[in-house]
Amino acid sequence: MTEEDTLVREESTVVRTVGTSEEGPVTPEVPGRYAVRSEYGRGGQSRVLLAFDGHIGREIALKELLPEPGPDGTPRSASQSASARFLREARITGQLDHPNIVPVYELGQHPDGTYYYTQKLVRGVTLKKVLAQASTAAERLKLLSHFADICHAVAYAHARGVVHRDLKPENVMVGEFGETVVLDWGLAKARGQKDMRAREIAQESQLMRSPDATVAGHALGTPSYMSPEQARGELEAIDERSDVWSLGAILFEILTGRPPFDGETAYSVIRKVIDEPPPRVRLVLRDAPPELAAVADKCLSRESSQRYESAEEVAQEIEAYQSGGNVRAYRYSSWELLRRFVQRHRALSAVSGLALLLLIAALLVIRDEAARARAALAEARRNLAQAYVEKAHKAESDFFWHRAEVFYAAARMQEDRADARWGAALDWQDLAPVERFPGAAGWISGVFFSADGNSVLATSWDGTLRRWEVESGRELARISEPAPLGSGASLSRDGRRIALGLRTDRGEDLVVRDAGNFAEVARARLPAGASRSAWSPDGKLLAVGSGSRLTLFSLEERALRPLPGERAGGSVAFSPDGSLLASAEEKSVVLWQAPSFEEKRRFPADSARVSALAFSPDGELLATGGHDHLVHLWSTRTWKEAGQLQGHLGIVGLLAFSPDGKMLASGSPDDRSVRIWDVPARRMVAVLDRPRPPYALAFSPDGSRVAIGERQTALVLWDLSARFQGHEKRVNAAAFSPDGKRIASASDDGTVRLWDAASGRQLSRIDARRRVASVAWSRDGGLLIARVPDGVLLLDAASGKERASIRQEATFALAVGPSTFAIASEAGVRAYELPRANQLASFPLRAHALLFLPDGTLLANQGDGTLAHLDPRGRAPLPPLRVDADESSSLELVPDGRSVAVRHGDRVRLLEVQTGAVRSGPHQPGSSFSDLAFSPDGRVLATSELDGTIRFWDAISFAPLAGAAAPEVSSSFGLSFSPDGSVLLFLAGGSQRWSNGLHTVSLGHPEKLPPPEEHLQRALAEHGLVMNAMDLDLAAPGAAAPTHEPGMGAISAPRPAR
């Protein structure tokens, strides 16, 4: 054997004793038996070599353990644990003697101590590659026989007590001669043996659940085929049914051409596996065989108890389908059963003819057809309701609030379920002051509010001019031009005329229409494209920046007047008094004096190209934006720069002042953001980052909203209502007053502020002159107890005056009871009497959270799983309580007064104070609860998570009711209900809204919603929508919206009782 015939193995620096292992004896390698010819494949811990067995005279696959890199990078022999895992893999595989599992020939050890084992060499490609090459459903269905072989192999392993735990298309080989082989049993678990990969699997699962993970996984690979229990890291729950899930995921991909869950990162996929129900096969591919779709759907049941018990049951279902038998997972109609009977008994059918058919049909109908039909209909409605709820969630995530309401109502029509009722009742729009209106098929090029602010106009590149009603989102009017409407649209100051730049094959037309009825008023052919336009204040002239020319159009004379010279006809703007016209050139602004429109002044406005212009309403400022990513403010008295606004990361192409001139909106298509600036203070007060570039901006007449035209079909309304506006830094805590009429908030800006709970208007401000970490009300509402870094302040809620103070360094917890309050600090826990702040007791312990119980005693979380039970009145010592808690765990009293909810990581546990019994509450695997609160009536539990998600749970059964991630925030915390339970108050970290993180959500009344059919009719009519199967279409403008029962056809009146 020459040197060229062999592949040198990777040597390690440590040599082991040959012939033994902790797992049992291992055969030493016979020198010269195997001639290694090439490397066949490689993984993270082992590689497979193509070798020739000289003793038998055949090619084989030789798999050997790779050396591990040492601290200095030098290869070292594999660790003892890695070697043990490798030997276990070889022995488990060797014990599985099945035609669809590669047999193991020999387990051995090289002279240097490295372990190897040899197997049959299977030449072929992976099922993953075969699926990728199958471009049609018909080609993929040809793989069904291979899938049946996989099921038989896994079923055999299950019968031998082995669970694979890593089934996926890339671990299945399709041979050159049609054979099917299940590979890579390295993660397999054998019943009755130590699970040597448990720790590795748990760590890998935890890594995938981290949003910071940047790898697709080492031990587990992609989680697209992983069961929910394995994704959550619940190793004790992984059994044969976990492999059944993976088989279902493979069958799902064979049927649809994609795995049930996919994403760009392991984290995004595993979150879907854990949180989302798998999509139904027939919703992804309507033409998929229904029997096979039912098998895949059953395999992919989130609850393992609802799946097939083993792979053998899956194999039987596939064989039944292939042979024309009945698939147990599928509910056949009577006629389907009849048709299948005839297909299986063609000879009998030919003899008996029509009589036999009629007899069989009668027998099938007489059977329990009614019960089966009712069950099938109930399941169909359940599935349809779930699909509508999912569409509602998607609409909410896209800020289509009106569409979400309709989808929730449509879900109730199919099944009046809790999540649909709660979704309809909750006002999630409180979380995000953004709403989108669908309609245009091209990007929005211009947006304008009507004079009364009740409607908004939009032009689009699809050639349409539309008007929407602001409150309902209903489309009120529409007209279609024969060509795209570009960015040259503008609305006259009085709101009566709208100018449109119409791009045609012959050039560009300027079209003026009545803004009310859309009737054409005037039309003119422009010398070049209309990039921007602006009306004079009196509405008689229109300035149009077109190509290299600046042109004036007289509405009275219907005449065009080009201004002299070659100008960069970009953005244009008239001063409020009409005396000046400003136009943008490359790096300067040109001012034209009306009415002669002679050039009056030119000044350099930017170090780069100027893209946007806007005069303030009082005419004192001219704002410019351009390619230097800045907004420049120029004094119109001196024409010198009066300020710069810095924040955008791209070209500033849009500018608009609020009607009062106090705010300026700027937009950048490059960084896809719209920013709001406080003009007098020269600072940014809000930013809206969008996934789509903005192309138009407009303030509403009252300045409370900004309309944004986006590139991809959406009109966006941004609500700037100044609820809870005032804090200059992060809000740390907030609480409702006992009567629910006021909210107190504490902030890093050193103030406590009181707000009107209904309107969000600031009532008063109390200066503490240092950071205020938390605030609480006394039970009578007369006092505010504020925790500051050096102690506690007792403040009069009416006057804001300081009643008393307690000096205590390094405080980190505060609790207020009926007549007492307590603080935790480095010095221990101290209790005080209200309202005089006389000390009652001191306890030398470190506590991280405090909670008063109804009997006046105090619980203190010590962070070690112990809750100290303290009596501030100094009575007999109380025994501590034990519960799973750490330093970050918070405590919340259950309204019945008998139990305490303890938040710890991704779980909530309830501790009964009298008995010490602990029971489980909500569990959100892969997440982390940041706070919790019970509604005053004890029926609803609200939780917040570190990613900003707010969830509502049934406080008795802990069934989930509703949930949503708050947009624009990075975390949520500080939950509290209003005394009447109608509003949830919470705080948000990373919020870029004016409230600096103070938010409320109205819960509504799920139990008071109208009946489902009435609910759907109202929602469709109010928002001008019609149901179209599983989607929504716009009703014709001005027409009454027809109502439909989704999936059941049109209805015009309530259906008669059945």
Enumerate the active-site residues.
Answer: 166
- Residue 985 to residue 431: CA distance in whole angstroms: 11
Number of H helices, E strands in the chain: 17, 72
Q: C-alpha distances in angstroms, 678 versus 681, 684, 687?
A: 5, 6, 12
- Residue 798 to residue 105: CA distance in whole angstroms: 87
Residue 915 φ/ψ, nearest 5 degrees: -100, -20
- Residue 435 to residue 429: CA distance in whole angstroms: 8
Contact 696, 709 (CB under 8 A): yes
- Residue 218 to residue 225: CA distance in whole angstroms: 15
- Residue 822 to residue 776: CA distance in whole angstroms: 12
Cis peptide before 595 (omega within 30 of 0): yes
Other Cβ atoms closer than 10 A to 98: 18
Q: C-alpha distances in angstroms, 803 versus 72, 524, 910?
A: 66, 74, 37
- Residue 128 to residue 178: CA distance in whole angstroms: 15
**Residue 861 region by backbone torsions, left for phi larger than 0, else alpha for psi between -120 and 50, else beta:** beta
Q: What angle do CA 138, 143, 144 make, to 5 degrees?
A: 95
Helices 290-299, 240-256: crossing angle, 10 deg rounding: 140
Residue 864 φ/ψ, nearest 5 degrees: -115, 20
- Residue 1028 to residue 1035: CA distance in whole angstroms: 11
Q: What is the three-class DSSP state of 553?
A: strand
Q: Which sign, positive or negative, has the C-alpha torsion 373, 375, 376, 381?
A: positive
Tokens at 530, concatenated: 């209309």
- Residue 746 to residue 732: CA distance in whole angstroms: 6
- Residue 373 to residue 651: CA distance in whole angstroms: 62
Q: C-alpha distances in angstroms, 359 versus 340, 355, 363, 365, 682?
A: 15, 6, 6, 10, 87
- Residue 240 to residue 165: CA distance in whole angstroms: 9
